Structure 1
Amino acid sequence: MKQHLIAIDLDGTTLNNQSQLSKQTVETLRQAAQEGHIVSIVTGRSYRISGQFYDQLGLKSAMVNFNGALAHVPHQHWKPEYQKSINREIALDLLSHSSELGIKTITAENKMNLWANQQSDVMPDFLPASITKDEILNSINLTSDPTALTLQYNPTEKQLLIHEITEKYGADVDVRVWGGPYSILEVVSKGIQKARGVAYLAKQYNIDQQNIIAFGDEDNDAEMLSFAGRGIAMQNAIPSIKQVANDITADDNDHDGLAHYLSAYLKLAR
């Protein structure tokens, strides 16, 4: 049997529109792992809000968070683990200029910690609905360099915010604007992207590039799908992702598109 690395995005891909794993998706991915394939979650989400899906799938392989800034094996020490951070001073500088830049909520996260300037009632899966005193983002509590910053901003200030971050810190960080209806952007270490994380996992598991299968639906999946030997766009993917993909699922994320495609492609036993 040819062993594959199966890199799966979460939102809009592996998860349905209720941000849940369907029974068929769980069964299919577990079966793929049981047959010897490496199933790895590769997501823009932090570990804080993606670990539950890793556990639900019963995975033992490495996963990638923050769009490639963190690679690790949950619940155990994994010697090849890496975490690419950004200077804490960037977070504190953006915090001090948040009002003039149109930043509403700013969160700083690493593998196990979160800090925020305030709680938020927007996107509770991603932005904190509540924070403790120790999680308030300030120079005292932020004791280490964060792995990623998530900024909820005023839509009218979008270009100003991107310009200011790029102009001031462009040599050290990259900025990604999230898809969907919410005005949110992410700041990560320079050069971070999902393809980098996938390439690293493939090296650790001795998987050839041609044997990487990657599934995605949004802009932050573009490099990963292009890098993979077989990049698969979801039926519900944005047009630019379908253009870079090798194939497109027949069904969308709300109708087990990933599970149907993977089951047929790998000829998984029924």
Structure 2
Amino acid sequence: MKKDKWLIVIDIDGTLIKDFTQYDYKSMDYLKKLNKKHDVVIATGRAYKATEELYNYMELDGPVINFNGSYTHNPRNPKLKIQTTFISKKLILKTIADFLAAGIFINAFTEHNDDVFTYKQDDFLDSFFGKSNRKQKYGPLDKLLKTNQHSCFITTNVGTVPFLLDYAKENLGNEYGIRIWTNNDKYVFSELYNLQASKGLAIRRIV
């Protein structure tokens, strides 16, 4: 990369969008201008379908990092090699079964490209998909999942953070982990993820 050309990596939620509905058009307009001289790249936990609107608005032409680094591609250049990592379907189903057996499981959803698979309808989980018009299916995940997934998010009972961290240490080895996103008086919201999937690693791969 030329010294006078920057790689500018920007997140979406909490950065360009707040509360899923408040768009920061001032920042997006500025990034649109910057992209004419530099390389602006979106790196987000969202799927591409839920990123596409902003990508097009800012008139970007480079790669997009989705699912927190699990999937990187260039929508403008289909010939560019897609970089992807997955979470094992077998591991997802075992983890959910273990959480059910422990009596702490509330709900879960997984994502594979533009498909969303949710254990049961849930306004909190549904809020993640906003206006993306993605294909969403509900039901037991052992019936719905046909392949490995890009993401897996799970809600469990209040006070289960110690259980989750111990579970990760004892059962997930060196390939997977659990990170806690929300811990409040209603639920714990966590993510089961592949340790090879991160925004930082994805950025290194495209530089």
Instruction: Name the CA distance, whole Å, in 1 between partners of 2:82 and 2:140.
Output: 26
The equivalent position to 1:184 in structure 2, one of 178, 184, 189, is 189
> Displacement of 1:132 after TM fit?
7.7
Counterpart position of 2:116: 114
The alignment partner of 1:45 has SS state of coil
Q: Deviations over 1:160-219 (max 9, x none)?
A: 1232133111322122211585731111112322110111121xxxxxxxxxxxxxxxxx
Q: Which runs of 5+ in 1 are unaligned?
A: 203-270
TM value normalised by structure 1: 0.65
Flag the 1:62–1:92 CA change in 2: closer, same or farther, 3 A. same
Paired amino acid for 2:105 = I
Paired amino acid for 1:189 = N
CA RMSD between the two structures: 2.7
Instruction: Name the CA distance, whole Å, in 2 between partners of 1:127 and 1:104.
Output: 19
Mapping for residues 116-135 of structure 1, pairs under 5 Å? 116-126=118-128, 134-135=137-138
Counterpart position of 1:60: 61
Greater CA drift, 38-47 or 173-182? 173-182
> Displacement of 1:134 after TM fit?
4.8
Flag the 1:166–1:66 CA change in 2: closer, same or farther, 3 A. farther
> Displacement of 1:25 after TM fit?
1.5
The answer as to 2:192 corresponding to 1:156 is: no
Q: Deviations over 1:104-156 (max 9, x none)?
A: 1111112222111111111533269xx98855343332111001111122121
Counterpart position of 2:29: 27
Paired amino acid for 1:55 = N
Mapping for residues 93-108 of structure 1, pairs under 5 Å? 93-99=94-100, 100=102, 102-108=104-110
Alignment check: 8 A CA contact 2:64 2:73 kept: yes
The equivalent position to 2:198 in structure 1, one of 190, 193, 199, is 193
Flag the 1:103–1:46 CA change in 2: closer, same or farther, 3 A. farther
The structure 1 segments of at least 4 consecutive aligned residues displaced by more than 4 Å after TM superposition are 131-135, 179-182
Aligned length: 200
The answer as to 2:176 corresponding to 1:169 is: no
Greater CA drift, 180-189 or 84-93? 180-189
Greater CA drift, 77-86 or 177-186? 177-186
Alignment check: 8 A CA contact 1:49 1:126 kept: no
Paired amino acid for 2:143 = I
Instruction: Name the CA distance, whole Å, in 1 between partners of 2:116 and 2:17.
Output: 23
Instruction: Name the CA distance, whole Å, in 2 between partners of 1:101 and 1:200.
Output: 40
Instruction: Name the CA distance, whole Å, in 2 between partners of 1:48 and 1:180.
Output: 28
Counterpart position of 2:12: 10
Instruction: Name the CA distance, whole Å, in 2 between partners of 1:19 and 1:127.
Output: 11
> Displacement of 1:42 after TM fit?
0.7
Alignment check: 8 A CA contact 1:102 1:161 kept: no
Q: Deviations over 1:55-108 (max 9, x none)?
A: 232222111112211111236524321110021001111232333252211111
Flag the 1:119–1:17 CA change in 2: closer, same or farther, 3 A. closer
Q: Which runs of 5+ in 2 are unaligned?
A: none
Instruction: Name the CA distance, whole Å, in 1 between partners of 2:167 and 2:109.
Output: 18
The answer as to 2:85 corresponding to 1:84 is: yes
The answer to which structure has the higher strand fraction is 2
The alignment partner of 2:204 has SS state of helix
Paired amino acid for 1:145 = N
Instruction: Name the CA distance, whole Å, in 1 between partners of 2:135 and 2:54.
Output: 25
> Displacement of 1:19 after TM fit?
4.0
Greater CA drift, 119-128 or 108-117? 119-128
TM value normalised by structure 2: 0.83
The answer to which structure has the higher helix fraction is 1
Flag the 1:18–1:132 CA change in 2: closer, same or farther, 3 A. closer
Paired amino acid for 2:169 = T
